[in-house]
Amino acid sequence: RHANRGLDDCLYPGPFDRVPSRYLLTLGDIKMPINYLKHADKTASTGEQDVRKTVQTVLDEIEVGGDDKAREYAAKFDKWTGDIVVSKEDMKAAADKVSTQLKDDIRFAHDQVRKFAEAQRDSIKDIEIELRPGLIAGHRNIPMNAAGCYVPGGRYSHVASAIMSVTTAKVAGVGQVVACSPPRPDIGVNPAILYTLDLCGADTVLALGGIQGVAAMAFGLFGCKPADILVGPGNQFVAEAKRILYGRVGIDMFAGPSEVMVIADATADPEIVAWDLVGQAEHGYNSPAWLISLDKDLAEKVIALVPGYIAELPETNRVNAEAAWRDYGEVIIVDTKEEAVQVSDEYASEHLEVHCTDLDWWLDSLSNYGSLFLGEETTVAFGDKTSGPNHILPTKGAARYTGGLSAGKFMKTVTWQRMTREANRDIAQVTARISRLEGMEAHAKTADIRLAKWFPGENFDLSGTD
């Protein structure tokens, strides 16, 4: 079917037997190339190696130099020489600069996010089970002691990110929540962000951006506890700093540029689809916007509309969206809903919109996405700002193995067990035999000694021979 459309529609240039897996649909044992009307030359990983060296150097220097080195980088990168820890007086002064309408809007969004996070938290249960007579095991969900929340504030002031990260951490019961956000020269952190952080319950706010902000939270600078987990979106330097620190601290996920995929059929509104693609492309020059269409006519209409919509944006947004659509935008034609699902799951997009009939079918069939938006009545922007589910989501294919930020991300599920002496009769014997089979004699001895103590005179087969 794809071959019959002609080579002009299929933009993968290489020989068919060397087509990368992402360009293929697998239908049984038959592989067919994805049919692109528009294909991207770049991916979200383009240019990562250059960023990595810079970030590692800055992290190393701040770890050694502490508060003073962080201040030095704040002066260098943010042009900020004021106080790093935002005082309560400064928080109050910032609130006075925020309009009543904006405060009302922020409180509205906070209530939505808080209620959703509370529902998530309440769904997470401790368990206890008697696995066999005398052997009781369980798990507990324990909030982390300290969290660091990064809130972007450079090109765009992400009030919503403050709500998403800090609110969710506080709902989960985290002991100390530290937030950082880039200050602007001679101004400091955006007043609306400060008002939001205070409303959401941040315990400490640092006027630090970029790598130095992430480092300060991870290393416990400026009187804060070292973070157990770092969360929040940011530019490629922030994302790379979190990636490097992962293992030493937890992170919400490996993050890249914001991305959107829209699946649309012939019933979709091309104007809405086009605007929803542009709405994510304005995030940055490297933000992918992808369309999977079951109707070629719709796809062509969307391609025709997007440049004009981008041209309507303010300059900074326009420049970002133009580059993102040119270098990262893709439009893919498929024949069936099943093919659309397969392509979508292969990409595992951060945001996934479905503009099709039979929405319940799509909800049941799709599996790899950060957050799903069903029907044209909802959109990524609603999720980004106010509707309730968290907007800090996996990118770069990570939705294959993780979801977005949730109350559960700030909690550890830890197991426990206890047992009676009588339960040792079976458990210890099996443990001793398996340990010896594996060559771990000391492990076996810990079982032997308990059997000898509590069942003196009894003979047990503890050899572990097969």
- Is the pLDDT at 22 greater than 60? The verdict is no
Q: What SS3 state is found at 466?
A: coil
pLDDT at 344: 97
* Reported confidence tier of residue 256, pLDDT bands at 50, 70, 90: confident
Could you tell me which of 215, 153, 238, 221 has the C-alpha nearest to residue 188? 153
Give the residue carrying structure tokens 């079917």. Answer: 1
Q: CA angle, corner 331, sides to 326 and 333, nearest 5?
A: 160
pLDDT at 33: 57
pLDDT at 4: 35
- Is the pLDDT at 15 greater than 50? The verdict is no
pLDDT digits over 87-145, tens only?
999 999 999 999 999 999 999 999 999 999 999 999 999 999 999 999 999 999 999 99
pLDDT at 19: 43
Q: What value does the mean pLDDT take over residues 438-461?
A: 96
Q: How many Å apart are CA 280 and CA 303, to the nearest integer?
A: 15
Window from 33-37, 170-174, 414-418 with minimum mean pLDDT: 33-37
Q: What value does the mean pLDDT take over residues 377-405?
A: 95
**At residue 434, what is the residue type?**
I
pLDDT at 47: 59
Window from 15-19, 274-278, 363-367 with minimum mean pLDDT: 15-19
Beta bridge partners of 251: 230
The kind and range of the H/E element at 307 are helix 296-311
Q: What value does the mean pLDDT take over residues 382-395?
A: 94
Q: How many Å apart are CA 85 and CA 256, to the nearest integer?
A: 28
- Is the pLDDT at 278 greater than 70? The verdict is yes
pLDDT at 466: 61
pLDDT digits over 23-68, tens only?
554 444 444 557 888 888 777 666 567 799 999 999 999 999 999 9
Per cent of the chain over pLDDT 70 is: 90
- Is the pLDDT at 3 greater than 60? The verdict is no
Distance of CA 4 to the CA centre of its chain: 40
**At residue 278, what is the residue type?**
V
Q: Which phi and psi (to 5°) does residue 80 adopt?
A: -120, 125
pLDDT at 153: 86
| Catalytic sites, residue numbers | 350-351
Q: What value does the mean pLDDT take over residues 439-464?
A: 94
pLDDT at 38: 85
Q: Are 167 and 201 in contact (CB under 8 A)?
A: yes
Q: How many Å apart are CA 48 and CA 50, to the nearest integer?
A: 6
Per cent of the chain over pLDDT 90 is: 84
Q: What value does the mean pLDDT take over residues 143-154?
A: 94
Q: How many Å apart are CA 314 and CA 323, to the nearest integer?
A: 14
Could you tell me which of 276, 269, 257, 262 has the C-alpha nearest to residue 393? 257
Q: How many Å apart are CA 10 and CA 132, to the nearest integer?
A: 60
Q: How many Å apart are CA 125 and CA 30, to the nearest integer?
A: 45
Distance of CA 135 to the CA centre of its chain: 38
pLDDT digits over 191-220, tens only?
999 999 999 999 999 999 999 999 999 999
pLDDT at 39: 86
pLDDT at 158: 85
Task: Enter the tokens of residue 231.
Answer: 């969360």
